[in-house]
Amino acid sequence: MVDIATRVYNHTWKIDPIVRSVLDTDFYKLLMAQTIFRRHRDVQVTFGIHNRSTRIRLADIIDAGELREQLDHVRSLSLTRGESTWLRGNTFYGKRQMFSPEFMDWLETFRFPEYLLEKEDGQYVLTFHGPWIETTMWEIPALAILNELRSRGVLRGMGKFELQVLYARAMTRVWEKIESLKKLPDLSISDFGTRRRHGFLWQDWCVQAMIEGLGPAFLGTSNCLIAMRREVEAVGTNAHELPMVYAALTESDEELAKSPYRVLADWQEDYEGNLRIILPDTYGTTNFLQNAPDWVSSWTGIRIDSKDPIEGGEEAIEWWRQRGQNPSEKLAIFSDGLDVNVIERIHHHFRGRMRIGYGWGTLLTNDFRGLVADGGLDPISIVCKVISANDHPTVKLSDNPTKALGPDDQIERYKRVFHVGAQTAQPVLV
């Protein structure tokens, strides 16, 4: 097993690049990329970093030269023969050749496009512009780089023993969480922690701990590289990016209202009935469910993201019942800001009423809260989201207005079109 403390103490980026493979990304990113490749590859899209934790001035912590070195290193990466073989020949969700030969041919020649890096009021303004199929690939590596460079900046200067003690405490914390989760009957949980991880080596350690500690209750990891190396399932489906771009490309309010369902129709066609998990909260879950075509209710399940998990789960159960579906046969995946106490609350409330899965993210792979003075390693809420598509601004409303993104006038328009009324803001911790 890797001695993480020693590796951190001896860090040079040429030995330990933060992103070391095209596959060091989330599985849903490749699945979405295939749909983009088939349908909208030439749409011009801009992605940008948004640090919601404004109190953390990343530009004061992370050296701009180091950041550029890491970003430039990513631009030198290409899919290896072994990685291509794994994607082409592996079985994902029970299906062989999930990725078409045409998409794989493209991915084997893919190189990350250029980026624009500036500073503004203590934050980095990092943007990526170009064809959607290329810029979409930057989301996960960019976030992983910023989070790990922040970790390195805080840890720089610590001694060997100080680092050993720090990681021993963090490992103990993770293991105690795993011991608590082992007590939950019928647990199904996956690692969703790539985007805001403390570091690659730490995420890999956490996955290994989950494999040993939880056994078959651990379903896999969203990280493709770790899934390949540790021989576990790569897990994930889709994200808010697809409806945000589809919506921005519409030309009328009527088309806008229908755009989230166009995403699902295309997805269902592209994946031949597999991976049928809806993510309804981009423009408000309640309106999405009320106006969804009947065929949507026949999908496997739902991912409950930004709404209170108990409220969101109850809403899903009632919707399935109204649509003539049996909730006990449906799957609800919870993924927003999860930690053991939240997972336990959800599990005790819903077990036996529907199938339950958990995508455990930041507080699995980056929970160093209180282990460094002044919260220096406490996780932050940072995202990389679509800003525009074909020069039209993109919008995300979310069930939590704190997560809303987009120009004010467009946010108001989307609220009107999607009948989003008063919302209750919830704190966004991670």
What confidence tens digit (pLDDT) does each residue in 201-214 have?
Answer: 999 999 999 999 99
Q: Is residue 87 part of a domain?
A: yes
- Cβ-based neighbours of 323, under 8 Å, separated by 6 or more: 294, 297
User: Using CA atoms, how far apart are residues 120 and 124, in angstroms rounded to an integer?
Assistant: 6
User: Using CA atoms, how far apart are residues 158 and 144, in angstroms rounded to an integer?
Assistant: 22
DSSP state of 55: T
The larger pLDDT score, comparing residue 274 to residue 206, is at 206
- pLDDT-derived band at 12 (thresholds 50, 70, 90) equals low
* CATH label of the domain that carries residue 384: 3.20.140.10
Q: Is residue 424 part of a domain?
A: no
Give the residue carrying structure tokens 């609800």: 332
Between β-strands 382-389 and 44-51, what pairing exists: parallel, antiparallel or unpaired? antiparallel
Q: Is residue 429 part of a domain?
A: no
E strands, 4-134, where?
44-51, 91-92, 95-96, 116-120, 123-131
Query: What tokens does 58 get?
Result: 């990343």
Q: Is residue 248 part of a domain?
A: yes
Number of other CB atoms surrounding residue 113 within 10 Å: 15
User: Using CA atoms, how far apart are residues 64 and 70, in angstroms rounded to an integer?
Assistant: 10
- Residue 396: left (phi > 0), alpha (psi -120 to 50), or beta? beta
Residue 386, pLDDT > 90, answer yes
From the list 176, 163, 183, 174, the residue with the least C-alpha distance to 203 is 174
User: Using CA atoms, how far apart are residues 97 and 308, in angstroms rounded to an integer?
Assistant: 37
From the list 406, 398, 394, 405, the residue with the least C-alpha distance to 424 is 398
- pLDDT-derived band at 423 (thresholds 50, 70, 90) equals confident
- Residue 232: what are its φ and ψ, rounded to 5°? -120, 170
Residue 427, pLDDT > 80, answer no
User: Which residues sit opposite 333 in a β-bridge?
Assistant: 303, 357
Q: What is the mean pLDDT of residues 210-238?
A: 97
Which ranges of 139-159 does DSSP label H, i.e. alpha helix?
139-155
Q: Is residue 190 part of a domain?
A: yes
Residue 159, pLDDT > 70, answer yes
Q: Is residue 11 part of a domain?
A: yes
Taking a C-beta distance cutoff of 8 angstroms, is the pair 24, 144 a contact?
Answer: yes
Residue 425, pLDDT > 80, answer no
What pLDDT digit, counting tens, does each position of 322-346 carry? 999 999 999 999 999 999 999 999 9
DSSP state of 387: E
DSSP string over 263-287 = HHHHHHHHTTT-S-EE-TTTT-HHH
pLDDT of amino acid 133: 98
- The Cα angle at residue 226 between residues 196 and 330, in degrees rounded to 5: 75
Q: Is residue 184 part of a domain?
A: yes
Q: Is residue 426 part of a domain?
A: no
The larger pLDDT score, comparing residue 87 to residue 94, is at 87
Residue 219, pLDDT > 80, answer yes
- pLDDT-derived band at 13 (thresholds 50, 70, 90) equals low
Query: How many structural domains compose the chain?
Result: 1
The boundaries of the domain holding residue 391 are 4-418
- Residue 243: what are its φ and ψ, rounded to 5°? -65, -30
